[in-house]
Chain A
C-alpha cells in the first residue's frame, strides 16, 4: 500500500519535472522543493488551523503554482533572455533549491517558536480519515493521480492550450511563427508543474514522515522516474514514476525481510542505481527502448498484432 501511495505521488512529481524539461529544456532541481512547500501547506492546515489537510489541497496547488511562476519570472526567464546556456540555468535551479529549502526550514522554526509543536519531523496520519477499511490517503492519492493523468491527457490532446504546449515543446520558434504566445504557454506550464508538485507534496505527510528537507531529497527519485520515461515524454514519465516509486518501497521492504534490516539504510541508492543503469543501457529511457523495439522486426510484428501499429499499405 505504501508503495502505491508513494508511486502515485512520485508520478505526479515526475510528470511536472518532465513538463518543465519539455518546455524549458532544463532539469529543474528545485522541483522536489515545491513538494516541500506542499508538505508545509498540509502541516499548516492540519496542525495549526486544525482542519483536514485535504482542504488544503487546492491551496497547495495554487501556492505551488505561484511559487513556480515566480521562479520562472524572476530567474529563469531573465536568464534565458540573457542567453544563459543549459548549464547556467541548471545551476540557477540548484541555487533556487537551496534557497527554498532554507526558507522552509525558517518557516518550520517560526512555527515551532510560535506554536511550540514538532515541526521538524512529523507525520499527519491522525488527521486522515478511514474509508472502507482503507486509510483515506490511499484512495485519494491513487484516484487523484489517475484522474490528473487523464485530465492532463485530455488537455494535451484535445484542448487548444495543450496542443499549443506540445507545439512549443517541439519547436519554440516554429510555434511562435504560428502565432502561439510562447510566454503565456511557458507561464502556464510552470504554473501547472509547480501546482502538481505541491499537490503531490501535500499528500506526502499523510503517509510518510516528513521534514523540511524531505521534498528536496526526493529529487533523485523524481529524476530517475523522469529519466526512465525518457525525459521528454509525459506518458513515459507516468510509467517511470510508477516503476521507480513502487520499486523504491518494495525492494526496500523485501530486502529488509530477506537480507536484513540494514538494507533500509540504502533506500536512497535505489533511484541512483536506476539512474546509472538507465544511462548506461538506454539513455533515452523507455521511450528510446520503445522506439528501438518498434524498429526491430520482432517488435513490429508484435505491435501490429496488438493493433498499436498500423499495417503498411
Chain B
C-alpha cells in the first residue's frame, strides 16, 4: 500500500512517464472518488439536509460538460486564432464536428507553450459551469419546486433524459452522437495529465466540503433542516420556504455542474452518452443512502466504498466476463438495484447515522437528554402522595434532584 502511494506520488513528479498498473487504478479511483464525492455531497446538501429529492443530478452534470464543449472550446479556438495560428474552419455544424480533432491538436500545441492559457481556461470553465448550473437549477425549479416531493422527482428524472436528447441531436453543443474532443489544458505538464486532474478534482472536492460544512453549521443550515422536518411550521414563522428551496437547488446545481466540466477535462472528450442518468443520478444516490443521508462523513464513506467497488469491477471486467454469459454491465445494474433496496430495508439510516449539528457554545446532546431522561414512575415513587408527587415532577423538569431537598 505504502509502495503504491509512493508510486502515485512519484508519478506526479517524474516526467513523461504515464502511470500504469495498480498505480493507474489508484489514480482512477481517486479521480472518480473526487468526482462522485462532490455530486454526493451536493446531493446530501439537498436531500439529506433540506429534504429536496433531486433525482436530476445528471442534468446538472451534463450542463457542466456541455459548457466545456460548446463554449470553452469555442473560446479557445477564438483565442488561438487571435494569437495568429491557422485553424481549420469550424463555423458550420459539419466543420465544427469533423475538423474538431485537428483543431484540438493545434490548440494543444499552443497550450504546451502557454500554461497560463490552460489554467485560465480551466478556471473559466469551472466558473462558467458554476453559473450555468445555477441557471439550470433555477429553470428546473420553476415547474416543480412548489409541488409535492414525488412530482419533483418525476420532473427531474425526465429532465435528465431531455438534456441527453438535446445533446444527441444538436451537433452545435457536443458533436451529436460523434462526441467532441476537448483540448488538453494540461498539455504543458510533462507528467501524467490524469494525476494532475485527479489532484485538482480532490482539491475542489475539499473546497466544496468546507463550503458545505460551513453552510450546514450556519443559521441557514439550521433553517434547511427545519424545512426538511416540517415545512408548514417554517412557513408559519414567516420564512419563504419555496425561495429557500430554490436557492438550495440553485447552489447545489452549480457545484454539481463543476463536476461535469471536470469529467470533460479528465476524458478530454465530451459525448452525451458519458452523462447517462443511471451513472450520474442513481450511483450518487446509492452512495448517499449507503453512507447515511444528513452527514458528510457518511457520504465520504459510502462514496469511497462504491467507487472502489465499481472501479475494481470495471478494471477486472475481462476476468469477470468469463463467469457470465451476459455483459458485466447488467451485473452491475443488478448489484445497484439490490444494494439500493437492501440498504433502504436493512440500514435505513445508512452506515453512519445522522448526528446532531455541532455548534460552538451550544450543547445539543445535553439539551436533548434532559428532555428525554424524565422517568415518570421513579419521579412519583420518590415522593409519595399527590402534592409531593407533583412537586417532584416539577423538580425533575427543572433539573433539580428531589432527594437533595428532602435531606
Chain A: CB-nearest residue to B151? A279
Given known contacts A84-B344, A110-B325, is B149 in contact with A279 (CB within 8 Å)? no
Chain A contact patch, size range? 35 or more
B345 x A113 contact (CB < 8 A): no
Decide if B190 is an interface residue (CB 8 Å cutoff): no
Given known contacts A79-B344, A91-B340, is B334 in contact with A102 (CB within 8 Å)? yes
- Considering the chains assembled together, what is the distance between the CA atoms of A79 and B333 in angstroms? 21
**Closest CB in chain A relative to B40 CB, distance in Å:** 14
Decide if B235 is an interface residue (CB 8 Å cutoff): no
Mask of A22-54 contacts with B, CB within 8 angstroms, 1/0:
000011010000000000000000000000000
With a cutoff of 8 Å between Cβ atoms, the chain A residues found around residue B282 in the complex are 94, 98
- Considering the chains assembled together, what is the distance between the CA atoms of A100 and B340 in angstroms? 13
Q: Which of A97-156 contact B (CB under 8 A)?
A: 97-103, 105-106, 109-110, 113
Q: Which of B323-344 contact A (CB under 8 A)?
A: 325-327, 330-331, 333-334, 336-338, 340-341, 344
- Considering the chains assembled together, what is the distance between the CA atoms of A91 and B168 in angstroms? 27
Q: What's the count of A-B pairs with C-beta under 8 Å?
A: 116
Chain A: CB-nearest residue to B282? A98
A109 x B325 contact (CB < 8 A): yes
Chain B: CB-nearest residue to A266? B165
A110 x B158 contact (CB < 8 A): no
A87 x B325 contact (CB < 8 A): no
Given known contacts A102-B330, A102-B337, A275-B154, is B348 in contact with A88 (CB within 8 Å)? yes
- Considering the chains assembled together, what is the distance between the CA atoms of A90 and B285 in angstroms? 12
With a cutoff of 8 Å between Cβ atoms, the chain B residues found around residue A1 in the complex are none
A266 x B169 contact (CB < 8 A): yes
Q: Which of these, A79, A86, A269, contacts B150 with CB under 8 Å?
A: A86
Which of A29, A78, A106, A266: most chain B CB closer than 10 A? A106
Decide if B142 is an interface residue (CB 8 Å cutoff): yes
Decide if B178 is an interface residue (CB 8 Å cutoff): no
- Considering the chains assembled together, what is the distance between the CA atoms of A195 and B340 in angstroms? 25
Q: Which of these, B155, B325, B338, contacts A279 with CB under 8 Å?
A: B155
Given known contacts A98-B337, A99-B341, is B150 in contact with A90 (CB within 8 Å)? yes
Decide if A92 is an interface residue (CB 8 Å cutoff): yes
Decide if A55 is an interface residue (CB 8 Å cutoff): no
**Closest CB in chain B relative to A102 CB, distance in Å:** 4
With a cutoff of 8 Å between Cβ atoms, the chain B residues found around residue A63 in the complex are none
- Considering the chains assembled together, what is the distance between the CA atoms of A84 and B149 in angstroms? 14
B165 x A269 contact (CB < 8 A): yes
**Closest CB in chain B relative to A93 CB, distance in Å:** 10
Mask of A257-288 contacts with B, CB within 8 angstroms, 1/0:
00000100110110110011001100100000
With a cutoff of 8 Å between Cβ atoms, the chain B residues found around residue A275 in the complex are 154-155, 158
Chain B: CB-nearest residue to A212? B330
With a cutoff of 8 Å between Cβ atoms, the chain B residues found around residue A100 in the complex are 337
A26 x B150 contact (CB < 8 A): yes
- Considering the chains assembled together, what is the distance between the CA atoms of A227 and B147 in angstroms? 13
**Closest CB in chain A relative to B306 CB, distance in Å:** 14
A223 x B326 contact (CB < 8 A): no
With a cutoff of 8 Å between Cβ atoms, the chain B residues found around residue A96 in the complex are 337, 341
Decide if A178 is an interface residue (CB 8 Å cutoff): no
**Closest CB in chain A relative to B269 CB, distance in Å:** 22
B151 x A106 contact (CB < 8 A): no
Q: Which of B349-396 contact A (CB under 8 A)?
A: none
Decide if A95 is an interface residue (CB 8 Å cutoff): yes
Chain A: CB-nearest residue to B332? A102
**Closest CB in chain A relative to B320 CB, distance in Å:** 14
Q: Which of these, A75, A223, A279, contacts B143 with CB under 8 Å?
A: A279
Decide if B161 is an interface residue (CB 8 Å cutoff): yes
- Considering the chains assembled together, what is the distance between the CA atoms of A129 and B334 in angstroms? 37
Q: Which of these, B55, B158, B345, contacts A79 with CB under 8 Å?
A: B345
**Closest CB in chain A relative to B22 CB, distance in Å:** 30
Decide if B315 is an interface residue (CB 8 Å cutoff): no
**Closest CB in chain B relative to A17 CB, distance in Å:** 11
B337 x A279 contact (CB < 8 A): no
Mask of A60-94 contacts with B, CB within 8 angstroms, 1/0:
00000000000000010011001010111011101
Chain B: CB-nearest residue to A264? B169
- Considering the chains assembled together, what is the distance between the CA atoms of A98 and B335 in angstroms? 9
Which of A87, A101, A220: most chain B CB closer than 10 A? A87
B345 x A99 contact (CB < 8 A): no
A265 x B154 contact (CB < 8 A): no
With a cutoff of 8 Å between Cβ atoms, the chain B residues found around residue A271 in the complex are 158
Q: Which of these, B142, B153, B331, B336, contacts A90 with CB under 8 Å?
A: B153
With a cutoff of 8 Å between Cβ atoms, the chain B residues found around residue A79 in the complex are 344-345
Chain B: CB-nearest residue to A25? B150
Mask of B288-329 contacts with A, CB within 8 angstroms, 1/0:
010000000000000000000000000000000000011100
Q: Which of these, A106, A113, A276, contacts B330 with CB under 8 Å?
A: A106
10 pairs, A vs B, C-beta closer than 8 Å = A84-B344, A86-B148, A91-B340, A95-B344, A102-B330, A102-B331, A102-B337, A109-B325, A275-B154, A279-B155
List residues of A whose CB falls within 8 A of some B CB.
Answer: 26-27, 29, 75, 78-79, 82, 84, 86-88, 90-92, 94-103, 105-106, 109-110, 113, 220, 223, 227, 262, 265-266, 268-269, 271-272, 275-276, 279-280, 283
Shortest 4 CB-CB contacts between residues of A and residues of B:
A99-B337, A95-B340, A109-B326, A102-B333
